[in-house]
Structure 1
Amino acid sequence: MFFADRVDAGRRLAALLGHLKGRDVVVLGLPRGGVPVAAEVAEALAAPLDVCLVRKLGVPSRPELAMGAIGEGGVRVLNERILRDAGVDARELAAVEERERAVLAARARLYRGGREPPPLDGRTVVVVDDGLATGATALAACRVVRAGGAGWIVLAVPVAPHGWTARLGGEADETVAARTPDGFAAVGQFYRDFDQTPDAEVVTLLERSRAARRPAVRHTAVRIPVGGPVLAGDLALPDEAGGLVLFAHGSGSGRHSPRNRAVAAALNGAGLGTLLFDLLTEDEAADRERVFDTPLLAGRLARASAWAALGPGTEGLPRGYFGASTGAAAALWAAAEPGDDVAAVVSRGGRPDLAGERLTGVRAPTLLIVGGRDEPVLGLNRRARELLRCESDLAVVPGAGHLFEEPGALEEVAALAAAWFAGRFGAAAGGTGQ
């Protein structure tokens, strides 16, 4: 018996990983038992914590025996010897995999709540489990994170059998085990408390880690000169913001839009600054012609962007546009201006078709997000994307309508937007030496 429980095991394992502190590290726990161990490692390394979602493929007649494992991104690892010895045919294997992939998708929704997994590109990724036996799950996990762009993979476990690294086939760049005892039969024999980890504990540990790393955000009321009127805005800047997102609201909406404020709060939590402001004065908003005057709205958005480029606290930050409904047309129109230098555009339930021929001039990478039930707007976005000549993508939120009022729909919008902006802002900053 080596470990009192998974927390004890995590602390002992973390003591062997101190050489990673200070690197750009993300720690991924294998649910469920690996997450309490990983939480201790993440805390010791001051690194973000997430899950690496993989599922064992159990032999139909002996579910506890792994004939392979699957992971996110379509990864599958098979143990051909066990498949052959157990006489598992292709039909049986497909049935087990289909069932486990459904569980995998459900776990992703449960653990992340619609949030995107952390980016792995070029990072040191520490994959943690509570122990290693056959190695199939760990092998699948390493392949999942390699496919995600990890620069260096560390597989770390509290306990494993002798010769365990040979089972990984070189998939991990570095391996760490606190103990490799004789007489290894099962991981649980080396724990005093090896009760199953409940899903609720996994969710709690992930949320606790996110809350601990959530940046402080400073909110400031600002006045933005746009060549005539001065517009009221709300500027939110997290510590060490990775960029600034300017919101272009849809018709009849403004900086107090609850949906855009919810998205802005999520972007702030992801370390991005936001500027919500009214594109029209109160008197102008009563004039329906101005509400749908895309060139006017785009011009004011572009001037606000120029103001932010030189403003205190926002100077030099990569900038992007988030347009909702008709505001998406203004965002794309502005992004097509010859001198515009925004790094990314995101449209939520937008009307990009209202930007017309301007779409061909957009240079900033553009993400179009549409609800799966918003069929007319989905069709308009598909046609608009055909006109775009820049990097672009169309993300459809299943079951969502035009306003994304369904449970979890707006959270998915926010997660998609955060990932899109963060990735493009990082590239923009790297390209300019910021």
Structure 2
Amino acid sequence: MSANFRDRTDAGRQLAAELATLDLPPPRIVLALPRGGVPVGHAIAQALDAALDIVLVRKIGAPGQPELALGAIADCGAGVPPYIEWNTTLLHLAGPLQAYLDRTVADELDELERRRIRYGATQPPQAGSLADATVIVTDDGVATGATMRAALAAVRRAHPARLVLAVPVAPDDAWLTLRGLADESICLLTPPADLFRAVGLYYRDFEQTGDAEVIALLADRRAP
């Protein structure tokens, strides 16, 4: 399979070209999922003359199996409490875990705050209000959709004037679920779920995005 995107910036520019065909009234704010979503979001923000900020998401892993997500917790700032989305099926199968979940949620909330401070995101975008804005949520791709579902739900609670989802690639089954969670949705590639292996396979250059790059890109486009 040949790569469809040169790198994350190229993916963002391709998304921006599609977004430019929509009626997206200002003010426009791009919220990217760090770290890989930030270069994508920066390219979109540049093309659409938008501010750039982040929506932070952390998975809540199962005991002894941190990669098995029992849920996800998302924080978009803007004075909105963090949102937790649970995988109720897995929670039921896992049995009584309340003490573990309470402790893990507290730990992840602390980590979200540390990351928000690290990325210089102590102030929400546009003086704290997403309610009057067109908000575009993006990442470098979607695998299961769990983190993006939590991110969209968190942003929706801030009551944006318009909520837009824009991602380069997602398996078709995950996209069918996600596309209905936003007012407008764009995904450039939706391969069949049984053929989808990893987001990185759709990029020629999928080198890990570092904290320094995230901080620099946010500083370049963040609203004063």
From 119, 122, 127, the counterpart of 1:111: 119
How far the C-alpha of 1:194 sits from its partner, in A, is: 2.2
1:163 equivalent in structure 2: 173
Structure 1 residue 74 corresponds to structure 2 residue 82? yes
For residues 51 and 207 of structure 1, what CA distance do their matches in structure 2 show?
12
Using a 3 Å threshold, how does the CA distance of structure 1 residues 18 and 113 change in structure 2: closer, same or farther?
Answer: closer
For residues 20 and 5 of structure 1, what CA distance do their matches in structure 2 show?
24
C-alpha RMSD over aligned residues? 2.1
1:129 equivalent in structure 2: 139
Report the 3-state secondary structure (helix = DSSP H, G, I; strand = E; otherwise coil) of the residue aligned with 1:15.
helix
How far the C-alpha of 1:165 sits from its partner, in A, is: 3.4
From 30, 34, 37, the counterpart of 1:31: 34
Report the 3-state secondary structure (helix = DSSP H, G, I; strand = E; otherwise coil) of the residue aligned with 1:19.
coil
For residues 61 and 188 of structure 2, what CA distance do their matches in structure 1 show?
27
**Residues 79-133 of structure 1: per-residue CA shift (max 9 Å, x gap):** 1123334557222222222221111011111222543333211321100011112
From 13, 16, 39, the counterpart of 1:14: 16
For residues 63 and 25 of structure 2, what CA distance do their matches in structure 1 show?
43
Q: Which runs of 5+ in 2 are unaligned?
A: 76-80
TM-score (norm 2): 0.86
Larger radius of gyration: 1
Retained in 2: the 8 A contact 1:120–1:149?
yes
Report the 3-state secondary structure (helix = DSSP H, G, I; strand = E; otherwise coil) of the residue aligned with 2:69.
strand
For residues 81 and 169 of structure 1, what CA distance do their matches in structure 2 show?
22
Retained in 2: the 8 A contact 1:66–1:134?
no
Structure 1 residue 3 corresponds to structure 2 residue 5? yes
Q: Which moved more, 1:71-80 or 1:30-39?
A: 71-80
AA in 1 matched with 2:147? T
AA in 1 matched with 2:17? A
Retained in 2: the 8 A contact 1:7–1:40?
yes
Retained in 2: the 8 A contact 1:20–1:45?
no
AA in 2 matched with 1:8? D
- In percent, how many aligned pairs have the same letter? 47
2:210 equivalent in structure 1: 198
Using a 3 Å threshold, how does the CA distance of structure 1 residues 188 and 11 change in structure 2: closer, same or farther?
Answer: same
**Residues 4-39 of structure 1: per-residue CA shift (max 9 Å, x gap):** 221121112212111246611111101111111110
For residues 134 and 57 of structure 1, what CA distance do their matches in structure 2 show?
14
Structure 1 residue 49 corresponds to structure 2 residue 49? no
Structure 1 residue 149 corresponds to structure 2 residue 159? yes
Using a 3 Å threshold, how does the CA distance of structure 1 residues 75 and 198 change in structure 2: closer, same or farther?
Answer: same
2:67 equivalent in structure 1: 64
Using a 3 Å threshold, how does the CA distance of structure 1 residues 61 and 187 change in structure 2: closer, same or farther?
Answer: farther
For residues 33 and 121 of structure 2, what CA distance do their matches in structure 1 show?
17
Retained in 2: the 8 A contact 1:21–1:46?
no
Aligned length: 212
Retained in 1: the 8 A contact 2:54–2:121?
no
From 95, 106, 112, the counterpart of 1:98: 106
For residues 179 and 38 of structure 1, what CA distance do their matches in structure 2 show?
17
1:245 equivalent in structure 2: none
Using a 3 Å threshold, how does the CA distance of structure 1 residues 185 and 43 change in structure 2: closer, same or farther?
Answer: same
For residues 151 and 114 of structure 1, what CA distance do their matches in structure 2 show?
23
Retained in 1: the 8 A contact 2:33–2:57?
yes
How far the C-alpha of 1:174 sits from its partner, in A, is: 1.7
Q: Which runs of 5+ in 1 are unaligned?
A: 214-269, 271-434
TM-score (norm 1): 0.46
Using a 3 Å threshold, how does the CA distance of structure 1 residues 87 and 201 change in structure 2: closer, same or farther?
Answer: farther
Using a 3 Å threshold, how does the CA distance of structure 1 residues 143 and 116 change in structure 2: closer, same or farther?
Answer: same
Equivalences for residues 77-88 of structure 1 within 5 A: 77-87=85-95
Retained in 2: the 8 A contact 1:161–1:181?
yes
2:78 equivalent in structure 1: none
1:293 equivalent in structure 2: none
